[in-house]
Structure 1
Amino acid sequence: MKTVLTNKNISIRTRRRALECYIEPILMYGCEAWTISKQTQKKLEATEMWSLRRMLRISWTAKKTNDTVLEEAHTTRLLISKIRKRQATFFGHVMRREKLENLVTTGMLEGKRSRGKQREKLIEGLTDWLKAGKSLEAIEATKDRKKWRTMIANAVKQGT
């Protein structure tokens, strides 16, 4: 894809669409089950900027800020919000099923907890992103599809 993405004869819009169609799905494979920490979020944003810089043929030694690169590409950072949206739709689907996946996702399984700081759960990251307050509010909102979809749409509009 390098020859297509770096070809100056193809418009930036077309190259960006090729990036979204062919590269991003590979990058986001299985993202519905990820827990995105601050470190992971930084790496994903860096990958997004790296691919845009490659597409625009901007060297890593060129002293251009990420904002100018985004302006040249006529875009904004969208990768994290796309991942969060996919996670939220998948989470709503799992919560409505009320099967084993529901128990695993919410972390309501019996047994001992491991030592040390506990890992962040998917639901905790989503409630922060949706600004739902408590995780119980998010779980209750999944029962009503219309309410859940509006919560997701509002979070996408606000960004990350």
Structure 2
Amino acid sequence: MMELQDIWNDGNLPTELKMKLVKIMIWSVLLYGLEGWTLTKADENRVLAAEICLGRRMMNISWKEKRLYRSILEELGVKRQLLGEIVNRMLTYLGHILRGSGSALTLQIIEGKVEGKRKAGRQKKQWYDNIKEWTGLSLAQAKRLAQNRTTCKEEIRRCVKLVDNRQY
């Protein structure tokens, strides 16, 4: 992002072009390998903050200027999309795994249980906990849904819309 400072400062470039550059060059690096991420609330906040930080940098707005994130997004002419993109990619990957397109080991890891006693204290958030939070489906329900690609895609779009429309 810093290497492209000349582009961000150029007033002749339209905002839409700058936004496309951010999505192509920055988001691809930012979202690399996200299918395996386990998102905690702190991670979600970091993703949302990164989206606003990128917008500020692109519009050349200092962090010292007390601006609401909504005003920055309105000036850019976009809605929050980064977290929705993460949800979309993770749910698409889940459908891929549950249909059996991935390796058998991956499906076994998702469905498997570890025997024995767990450590004392609060359980750590797991990858599938994010999926349950976004979809509200159990693993068996998700597996049935994933078998039909069209209904799976509709469910993914619904979940992405819900995440993108959340108030922060």
| Superposed pair shares fold, TM > 0.5 | yes
Mapped pair 1:131 → 2:136 = yes
Count of residue correspondences: 158
Deviation at 1:137, TM superposition (A): 1.5
Which residue of structure 2 lines up, in the alignment, with residue 71 of structure 1? 74
Give 5+ residue unaligned stretches, structure 2: none
Tell me the TM-score normalised to structure 1 length: 0.90
> What is the distance in 1 between the residues matched to 2:76 and 2:89?
24
Q: Residues 1-160 of structure 1 correspond to what in structure 2 (within 5 A)?
A: 1-97=4-100, 99-106=104-111, 108-112=112-116, 114-115=118-119, 116-132=121-137, 134-160=138-164
Q: How large is the RMSD of aligned CA atoms in angstroms?
A: 1.6
Q: Kindly provide the amino acid, as one letter, of the partner of residue 38 in structure 1.
A: K
Identity fraction in percent = 24
Contact 1:52 1:73 in 2 (8 A): yes
Letter in 1 for 2:30: L
Quote the offset at 1:16 in angstroms.
0.6
- Distance change >3 Å, CA 95–CA 113, structure 1 → 2: farther
Q: Conserved in 1, the CA contact under 8 Å of 2:8 and 2:60? A: no
> Per chain length, whose mean CA-contact separation is higher, i.e. which structure has more relative contact order (CA < 8 Å, sep 6+)?
2
Q: Deviations over 1:86-128 (max 9, x none)?
A: 001111111121711012123x143335413222222221122
